[in-house]
Amino acid sequence: MAAYREHIAVSGMLGLGTGVVSTIVFGFTPVQGILVGWLTAIGGILPDLDSESGRPVREMFGLTAAVAPLIFIERILQWAHLPGDKETVMALFLAMYLGIKYGLASLVSMFSVHRGMFHSIPALLIAAEIAYLGYPRHEVRTKALMAAGVAIGFFSHLLLDEIYSVEWSGVRIKLKKSAGSAIKFFGEGLAGNAAAYALLLGLSFLTLHDAGIIGMPDAPARPMLRTTTAGPAADEHPVAIGESAPLPAFDGPVLPVESGAPQAGRLTGGASLR
């Protein structure tokens, strides 16, 4: 098993590489290059979040606790329909920081086995998808870049752990017990596998939908949207009434026209309503 220092050295170098290549070759902005570089470096230490609590692990949780709110805060404000004023942002930021640094850290140490599912390909994809979904931009290309950065860093960690499980004693190559435990698709415990794949499935669905690769079923979504906008619109946003009211009214006149009845007057009425 490679040490923390070796992991951060390798993923740091890779981060420099992804940053430079994404900016010069792929035309991303220098700021985006710096961000993907950092995410690559962080990706290289993420798998060891499952190891016994020591200084490196505490440092990693500290780093994750500081960086994750920065990346996700805008999305969470949107999802939770919270106001974006400085006080709310500060309260949420501190809650996320403390939640990750202490809450998540103790949760992870309670449930995870070192070299369990954190060191696996599904975990790599989960980390990359979280970066994709959390990145506060709308362009699929930029979000995919950030996800790729995390994936590259994460994979370097798994690879390094595997390389370190090969022992070179003179001419003979011996495999340590830990060989094959980093780059894997399945762990040992059923619960760990189930949790990892359930999370992967959910995040993959959200990611593919966000990227426009798969679509949500439209039919049930529309009436839900209408009822939710109609509710608060009535008391909070008087402007929205004018926007949402013609929608159901427009649905009415369409049907009689198709039935073939002499509805010319109604049709023009409906058309002018629009």
Residues in touch with Zn ion (CB under 5 A): 47-48, 161
Instruction: Report the nearest approach of Zn ion to the CB of residue 1 (Å).
Output: 6
Please, which residue, 48 or 129, has the CB nearer to Zn ion? 48
Which of 22, 44, 32, 75 has the alpha carbon at shortest distance from 161?
44
CB closer to Zn ion out of 129 and 161: 161
Identity of the residue, 22 or 120, whose beta carbon is nearer to Zn ion in the bound complex: 120
For residue 57, the minimal CB distance to Zn ion (Å) is 11
Q: Which helix (H) or strand (E) holds 11?
A: helix 4-24
Burial class (CB in 10 A: 0-12, 13-18, 19+), 233: middle
Q: Who's near 90: CB < 8 A, 6+ residues apart?
A: none
Minimum CB separation from Zn ion for residue 161, in Å? 4
Which single residue is written with the structure tokens 């699929």?
140
Closest distance to Zn ion from the beta carbon of 166 (Å): 15
Structure tokens at 51: 């190891």
d(CA 116, CA 94) in angstroms, rounded, equals 30
Q: What are the structure tokens assigned to 190, written together?
A: 């059923």
Which residues does 211 contact at the CB level (< 8 Å), separation at least 6?
140, 144
In whole angstroms, the minimum distance from the beta carbon of 115 to Zn ion comes to 7
